[in-house]
Amino acid sequence: MALAANPVIACRPHLFSRCTHSLSSSPYYSPTVAVLFQAIDPPVINGVRKPRKPGGYQDSGADIAYALRQKGVRVLTPTPSPSDSSHEGWSFPDTEEGIYSAVKQGATHLWANTVLFASHPLQTSGRLTPLASNLYVVGQPPRLVENFDDKAFLNDKLRELGGFTLPRAWMVHPDNLPQIVKQIDRYPIVGKPVRGRGSHGVRVCHDAAQLQQHAETLLAESPLIMLEAFLRGEEATITVMPPTPSRPDYWSMVPVTRFNHADGIAPYNGVVAVTANSRAVTEDEMKDPAYNKAMRQCERVARLIGATAPIRVDVRRFKEGSEFALFDINMKPNMTGPGRPGREDQASLTAIAAAAVGWDYGTLLQRILEGAQPLDRFRNYRSPF
């Protein structure tokens, strides 16, 4: 492995995400963090626009900022003393002006708790370029997100490579919808957007008429949608952590199993808190080799795409007792967590998994912070495909 010009960083030149940092000469000892929220609408990418979350992730942004402060990390906020019970005032907008404002106030680490894309200011802002080697980012590279937020694109690449267990799927546009519906002879079928958010637009269809109607509804929002064979068995989710100085390879947290589905689909966490329908898999349950096989596949996905922050992979058994298939790879896992008043039940799926390895929410955030990447390497990401 060749060394980059900067002696602090050892890195494979084509995938900076595999870098490791020397703590003795890095800013990790005393980071100053500014959390960013989504203030910019995502662009239309290949004819498809990802739905924007109401509030722009300010709820989880406030959770992150508050919990890091409780751990003694210096956190900048746009409002001098934001209310513990309010989502607002804890994070900066992810506009160029909002980001630059945080940097001018002394931020060394930008926590990109937002949806990124290739034209995002973190990628393109000339005002940030002179600072790019000394300014760190927590999150995925914008070009990575733009490529792999497209579930159809990523799943097709995994199928081409082989070695990944995936459900049968069809890509549908208005012209081929009648043909696809006619050729499907086994139900249920799941219809969903290719660039989705949470459970938005995801529905289990039990016959051709339902599928036709739901597909038409989705195609009214987007010119390309995805159909998948419905997986009937247990659903779980696996968070893969990125390399950090203390653990220099990708690794999976304990799987979190899901239950109490609504019409076959895990409900959106904004409607039903995940603490009400999810729990970490027990040590005894982990004796089932299907979990380990799924975890290794999830790690391979993260390693392949060069993830620089946690990804969360939703998996489901074809039937009870079978192996798991990877059906949804999330570039930006929900990162809500307890700490602020009234947020006791707001642990995210990743936070539930972290608790199973002995980390409270704040410790999880500290571990994620360790994986921050310099902005210049963040910008220099190149896809493996």
The pLDDT tens digits for 218-236 are: 999 889 999 999 999 999 9
The pLDDT tens digits for 32-81 are: 999 999 999 999 888 888 878 889 999 999 999 999 999 999 999 999 99
Taking the C-alpha atoms of residue 147 and residue 229, their distance in angstroms, rounded to an integer, is 23
Taking the C-alpha atoms of residue 87 and residue 65, their distance in angstroms, rounded to an integer, is 10
Residues whose CB falls within 8 Å of the CB of residue 309, separated by 6 or more in sequence, listed in order: 138, 139, 140, 242, 368, 371
Tokens in use for 307? 């993830």
Burial of 380 (0-12, 13-18, 19+ CB in 10 A): middle
Taking the C-alpha atoms of residue 106 and residue 97, their distance in angstroms, rounded to an integer, is 14
Taking the C-alpha atoms of residue 69 and residue 338, their distance in angstroms, rounded to an integer, is 13
- Count Cα atoms within 13 angstroms, Cβ side, for 38: 19
Helix (H) or strand (E) holding 32: strand 32-37
CATH of domain 32-141: 3.40.50
pLDDT at res. 4: 32
Q: What is the dihedral of CA 226, 229, 233, 234, to 10 degrees?
A: -10
pLDDT at res. 82: 97
The SS3 of residue 218 is helix
The SS3 of residue 136 is strand
The pLDDT tens digits for 323-364 are: 999 999 999 999 999 999 999 999 999 999 999 999 999 999
Taking the C-alpha atoms of residue 118 and residue 383, their distance in angstroms, rounded to an integer, is 12
pLDDT at res. 56: 95
Taking the C-alpha atoms of residue 303 and residue 89, their distance in angstroms, rounded to an integer, is 35
Full-prediction pTM beyond 0.85?
A: yes
* Tokens 């019970």, located at residue: 85
Is residue 50 within 8 A of residue 196, CB to CB? The reply is yes
Fold assignment, 169-229: Dna Ligase; domain 1 (3.30.1490)
Is residue 189 within 8 A of residue 227, CB to CB? The reply is yes
pLDDT at res. 22: 36
Residue 367 neighbours by CB distance under 10 Å: 18
pLDDT at res. 15: 32
DSSP state of 211: H
What are the C-alpha distances in Å from 153 to residues 46, 48, 104, 171?
11, 13, 38, 10
pLDDT at res. 10: 30
The residue ranges of the chain whose pLDDT is under 50 are 1-28
Is residue 371 within 8 A of residue 377, CB to CB? The reply is no
Cis peptide before 188 (omega within 30 of 0): yes
Taking the C-alpha atoms of residue 301 and residue 54, their distance in angstroms, rounded to an integer, is 29
The pLDDT tens digits for 47-61 are: 888 878 889 999 999
Residue 253 phi, psi (nearest 5):
-75, 170
Residue 312 bridge partners (DSSP): 239, 330
Taking the C-alpha atoms of residue 263 and residue 352, their distance in angstroms, rounded to an integer, is 24
Residue 111 phi, psi (nearest 5):
-95, 105
Domain boundaries, the chain: 32-141, 169-229, 232-359
Superfamily the domain 232-359 falls into: ATP-grasp fold, B domain (3.30.470.20)
Taking the C-alpha atoms of residue 123 and residue 378, their distance in angstroms, rounded to an integer, is 8
